[in-house]
Structure 1
């Protein structure tokens, strides 16, 4: 393995509870409730454009309107999350392990660049990543593999040389379609669900990736 590529929400930070709160408040702002079932069905792992289509089913949105509405919601999310921002347990130590091992690293997120910069800089993680890709860097969102294919190209690695960390259904499908070895984080879905949709293995958080297990992982992923 030469490269490790990370999704952001649910992988670098467990933002899902705060995104859920932000979307619920945002839906209420426009007079529409958002139940837990609706969140799973219409919001979790979905691109903002698709979520807004559900929020405004009878209101065709121009590209500019969609971007403005999405920006409003993401600004609300950052306001809510700022007091609680913290990395997924074990992440900083694992990133240092990757750096010490000479592996290349990237982030490939469907979030806007404002969220990416907010989280990476608030946690002082920028120096750990060689490539940072947000939603604006590709035209086709997950589950299309475009963002992971671009990350691999920018890192100069092949799919079989890459490990991708993901937490959602759409993300796992994108990572598998990109041809990488995929590790699911059970922050959003259950371990059973992540394995069912294609993750090669599942961890709870990065504290499970001790140096010994990481070496086993590199050996196992090479043979897949």
Structure 2
């Protein structure tokens, strides 16, 4: 798929694209795994990246044949995440993304957030880093029937943007997210986050490791 001739909307993933939170999500997950006595391999964890928390725990309950409620596990993991989020002063935005967001906003390019995180976590990030004003809409995959790699979240994002798909691009850092973008028929940029080295990004239409470079190439 070619780069859109005119980009009118950018759809952002959040974790690993806007905020460097992959590590605290992983810590929160593994604390929860340990608390219920399951040993999740790196390979199995990789398949969960980009999925909503409820879908991840539904998969794990089925995989390990656990007599546990996935929704209870979501709450347990969320408590641990919030603890890390509120007590980690080093938590920061991905290098160069704030400058890119402000540039796109100034250029009147529509911005939409499409994240697998719960809306409470999205709002927590957007409030802490003062991002609400730049985005036309925010979607949480946790509120949808299907999670990434299902394309539903990006199809809804395009509808909310009120921009035709051929004028949209998506920025993602997970293979599940990239598959969702591919299946939605929207051009996708794979961002190589150093904290997500287990993601291949092989099906992205364009791969970058620098938002500054991406800004000069596309905008």
Q: Same fold (TM over 0.5)?
A: yes
For 1:126-137, list aligned pairs within 5 A.
126-137=132-143
Distance (Å, rounded) in 2 between the aligned partners of 1:49 and 1:78: 16
The question of 1:44 aligning with 2:49 is answered yes
1:58 matched to which residue of 2? 65
Secondary structure at the residue paired with 1:88?
Answer: coil
Per the TM alignment, residue 135 of structure 1 is displaced from its structure 2 partner at its CA by 2.2
2:114 matched to which residue of 1? 108
Distance (Å, rounded) in 2 between the aligned partners of 1:190 and 1:122: 28
2:192 matched to which residue of 1? 186
CA contact (8 A) 1:105 1:131 kept: yes
Aligned length: 207
Per the TM alignment, residue 174 of structure 1 is displaced from its structure 2 partner at its CA by 0.7
Structure 1 length normalisation: TM-score?
A: 0.84
Secondary structure at the residue paired with 1:87?
Answer: coil
Please, which runs of 5 or more residues in structure 2 have no aligned partner? 1-6
What per-residue deviation string (whole Å, max 9, x for no partner) do you get for residues 152-208 of structure 1? Answer: 1111111101010001111001111111111011112468x21x2x21111113232
CA contact (8 A) 2:32 2:73 kept: no
Distance (Å, rounded) in 2 between the aligned partners of 1:137 and 1:58: 25
Structure 2 length normalisation: TM-score?
A: 0.86
Structure 1's 67 and 185: CA in aligned 2 closer, same or farther, altered over 3 A?
same
Secondary structure at the residue paired with 1:209?
Answer: helix
RMSD: 1.9
Distance (Å, rounded) in 2 between the aligned partners of 1:80 and 1:33: 22
